[in-house]
Amino acid sequence: MNTNNQHKPTFFIKTFGCQMNERDSEIMAQLLREAGYAESFTVNEASLIILNTCSIRAKAEQKVMSLLGYLRKNLKKNPNQKICVAGCVAQQEGIEIIKKMPHVTLVIGTQNIYQLVPALHYATQGGSRVLTSLQDKYDIPRFLPNFSLDSPAPPFRKFITIMQGCNNFCSYCVVPHTRGREVSRLAADIVDEARVLVENGVKEITLLGQNVNSYGKTNSVVEGGVRGEYGFPRLLTDVAALAEKGLRRLRFTTSNPKDLTDELIACFGEIDILCPQLHLPVQAGSDSVLKKMNRKYSIAGYLDLVDKLHKVCPSIALTTDIIVGFPGESDADFEQTMTLLDTVRYHGSFSFKYSPRPGTKAAKFPDAVPEEVKSARLTRFQQRQDEISLERNQEYIGSRQKIMLEPEIGNSLLSRGRTESNHIVHLQEPIDGSPGDILTAEIIHAGQHSLQGKIETQGAVL
């Protein structure tokens, strides 16, 4: 750490949950650096700890509560330490967190993170310790990355949040309750953020939202414009124009199938740097379960989308999310999920046991599926997915793939890369290059979760 940092207050942020929380943590870190804090790499010594929390499933929430219990004991060694709870659990529980855990200094909600520094100051001066207001009409502040501070250099790959909240109210999901109504950021702010990143060496950008397909539908994203006139395909095109300045790859997540338009599907054929990969969560293979989930599409409609995607982009790698054991899911419903898995043959999936969440409609649905049935279904689904992922990965053997180099987790050696389809490729030996360089590899072996490759043109960075 820079020696100038020795007398600065320090912060440590622990992030739970999704990529949107990761991005919110980066924003909070930047705000704290701008206010004179330095980052601490140990929990015990930090002057301020922020837990940026997730409440999507009960397990995620329980982890936060047990960590708060641990931090309470730690206060005996470091009594001046401040603890802040941010994110979805903070939004959902508010004052209840302080009631259960009085050692918490501040509870800050999902729309309030930009006020973190004054809110902390206020809370430590005897002011309110809970700031969790959630507005329906809310302008996401313009916020640009600032690399002039002693923050780590930007990595070669970054996420940009393009919208907040969700209006879909899937019956199982807590997000509309914890992140509020859907609000899109101004397109100019997003493109400016992307430009700053690319000018600082970022080679790959992923645009993030709960349902990126509805970007610009609930509010205008152009100064003085009207809502709906500028949508997600246009944003993709405008960000992709940064290829001129060095952006090599563009991805996005997540897409609700109900809003996946032909125009957006066409982007996979038209935008060169848009990677041939799409996460398209289906959640269940049975129309009656989808109806109870309030997903607003049918399996026939979903399979139609899959066909269209393959026509526009035959090499596209599809992944999905599945919930097993939704209330009332019968054996026959679950078999339809298994059939769907064999029909689409996803490259990968995230699968979860249904977890009832407070305030959601499904939490009151009858016919809960017993825990052991949920577990058995999850195991069966995941085993079949692993087999299919292996078969899918084997299809790449003998092919030549452009891979973007990235460091191994836990060390800086460049002995792996990622294909455009988002598959990890382990290389036989470390490569002399920089993260973000693109090389061509021949795929020589496939496992369930990754590929192995041999660099064809060592030294020829594309």
Per CB under 6 A, residues contacting ligand SAM are 18, 56-57, 172-173, 175, 210-211, 254, 256, 281, 283, 321, 323, 352, 354-355, 357
Question: How many residues are given for the chain?
Answer: 462
- Tracing tokens 């009858």 back to the chain, one arrives at 366
Number of residues that bind ligand SF4 (CB under 6 A): 10
352 binds, among ligand SAM, ligand SF4, none (CB under 5 to 8 A by kind): ligand SAM
Which C-beta is closer to ligand SAM: that of 15 or that of 355? 355
Q: List all residues 6 or more positions away from 79 whose beta carbon is below 8 Å from its beta carbon.
A: none
CA pair distance 232, 224, nearest whole angstrom? 18
Q: Which residue, 173 or 305, is less far from ligand SF4 as judged by CB?
A: 173
The item of ligand SF4, ligand SAM, none sharing an interface with residue 145, based on CB under 5 to 8 Å by kind, is none
Contacts of 353 by beta carbon, 8 Å cutoff, 6+ apart: 323, 324, 325, 371, 374, 375, 378
Nearer to ligand SAM, 257 or 436 (CB): 257
> Using CB under 6 A, which of 178, 214, 256, 389 touches ligand SF4?
256
Where in 170-189 is the site for ligand SF4 (CB under 6 A)? 170, 173, 175-176
Residue 176 contacts which entry, ligand SF4, ligand SAM, none (Cβ below 5-8 A, type-dependent): ligand SF4
Residue 462's contacts (CB-CB under 8 Å, 6 or more residues apart) are 402, 437, 438, 439, 440
- What residue has token string 């790449």? 396
Backbone angles phi, psi at 410, to 5 degrees: 90, -10
Least Cβ distance, residue 220 to ligand SF4 (angstroms): 21
Minimum distance from CB of 366 to ligand SAM (Å)? 16
Which one, 105 or 168, has the nearer CB to ligand SF4?
168
Residue 19 binds to ligand SF4 (criterion: CB under 6 A): no
Three-class secondary structure of residue 141 per DSSP: coil
Which C-beta is closer to ligand SAM: that of 18 or that of 119? 18
Nearer CB in complex with ligand SAM: 17/109: 17
| 57/416 with CB nearer ligand SAM | 57
Could you tell which of ligand SF4, ligand SAM, none binds residue 194, using a CB distance below 5 to 8 A set by kind?
none
453 makes contact, choosing from ligand SF4, ligand SAM, none, with CB < 5 to 8 Å by partner type, with none
Residue (112 or 171) nearer to ligand SAM, CB = 171
Q: What is the DSSP letter of 7?
A: G
**Structure-block tokens of residue 20:** 């949107």
Question: Cβ(402)–Cβ(363) under 8 Å?
Answer: no
Contacts of 407 (CB under 8 A, 6+ apart): 413, 414, 416, 435
Which residues, 6+ apart, have CB-to-CB distance to 433 below 8 Å?
405, 414, 439, 461
Nearest CA to 341 among 291, 284, 256, 290?
Answer: 284
Residue 19 binds which entry of ligand SAM, ligand SF4, none, CB below 5-8 Å type-dependent:
none
The strand pair at 183-184 and 163-164 is best described as antiparallel
Alpha-carbon distance 106 to 102, whole Å?
10
Interacting residue with ligand SF4 among 5, 168, 261, 440 (CB under 6 A): 168
Which of these, 178, 185, 169, lies nearest to 27 by C-alpha position? 185
Question: Is residue 191 classed exposed, middle or buried when 0-12, 13-18 and 19+ CB atoms within 10 A define those classes?
Answer: middle
Smaller CB separation from ligand SF4, 296 or 426: 296
Q: Residue 161 touches which of ligand SF4, ligand SAM, none (CB < 5 to 8 A by kind)?
A: none
Mention every residue, 6+ apart, whose C-beta is less than 8 A from residue 21.
15, 52, 53, 54, 87, 88
CB of 383 to ligand SF4, least distance (A): 25
Give the residues lining the site for ligand SF4 (CB under 6 A): 166, 168-170, 173, 175-176, 210-211, 256
